[in-house]
Amino acid sequence: MTYLPRAFYDRDTLTVARDLLGCVLVREYGGERLTGRITETEAYIGRCDKACHAYHYKRTRRTETLFARPGTAYLYLIYGMYTCLNLVTEPAGEPAAVLIRGLEPLEGAETMARLRFGRDLDELTATQRKNFLNGPGKLCKGIALDRTLDGHDLLTPPLYVQPRQGEMGAIHCGPRIGVDYAQEAKDFPWRFWADM
DNA sequence: CTTCAGATGCTCT
DNA sequence: GAGCATCTGAAGA
């Protein structure tokens, strides 16, 4: 079983965000592998980024996980009902992470359909298929992630990342989603996505 | 295809 | 009490 090593995460956050595209996120759940290729990411860097929860090294109970060693999972609740998954980057003490915004399902799509829509895969509408795991809240619901895994070490089951497999199309970047409040940081081109 | 309102609960001030 | 790294369904173009 090949995991991305800690050194992969212990780098500049923008580099990690780009390099995660095409890698395979693995969630072991109920004895099954739920996996997907990472298609979209965003970088958050507390040192200089007003959109980051830990901007200017702000430490609170929630942001404590962002200060953990690289390769730690940071999961938080947003809008009262959705979970977002981040992978902590840079040396311990530098609060920074990559938000996973989109997955393309590989293994376990049947279970993902039940988790996300409560229906079988072959019962999904065209719209449900198209919007299966293409958002941070959607993918967490689809692979059964919640805050109980906050602080989890990504070099151990049941949640980890495997190296890129297969070919990948062009990589694009642009402004991040949903950070209009972040003043000058709202225009940073720190969102990355790949043609698959 | 688009916009729009509402759901919902935790965290920090 | 305010605000939030979102999503859904309904309604309109």
Give the tens place of pLDDT for each residue, A3-58. 999 999 999 999 999 999 999 999 999 999 999 999 999 999 999 999 999 999 99
- Indicate the SS3 state at residue A23: coil
A61: nt with nearest C1' to CA: B11
pLDDT, tens only, A32-45: 999 999 999 999 99
Token duo for residue A146: 């919640």
A129 part of a folded domain: yes
Q: Return positions of chain C under 7 A from a protein CB.
A: 3-8
Provide the number of structural domains found in chain A: 1
- Between the CA of A125 and the C1' of C9, what is the distance in angstroms? 14
Token duo for residue A179: 């950070």
A31 part of a folded domain: yes
Residues 80-119 of A with CB under 7 A from strand B: 80-81
Q: Is the dihedral of CA A72, A77, A81, A87 positive or negative?
A: negative
Query: Domain containing A34 — which CATH number?
Result: 3.10.300.10
Containing structural domain, residue A110: 6-194
CB closer than 7 A to strand C: which residues? A 42, 44, 51-53, 66, 74, 78-82, 84, 86, 97, 99, 116, 131, 135-139, 176-179, 181
- Judge contact between A36 and A104, C-beta under 8 A: yes
A87 part of a folded domain: yes
A1 part of a folded domain: no
Token duo for residue A161: 């990342």
On whether the pTM is more than 0.95, the answer is yes
Is residue A168 very low, low, confident or very high in pLDDT (cuts 50, 70, 90)?
confident
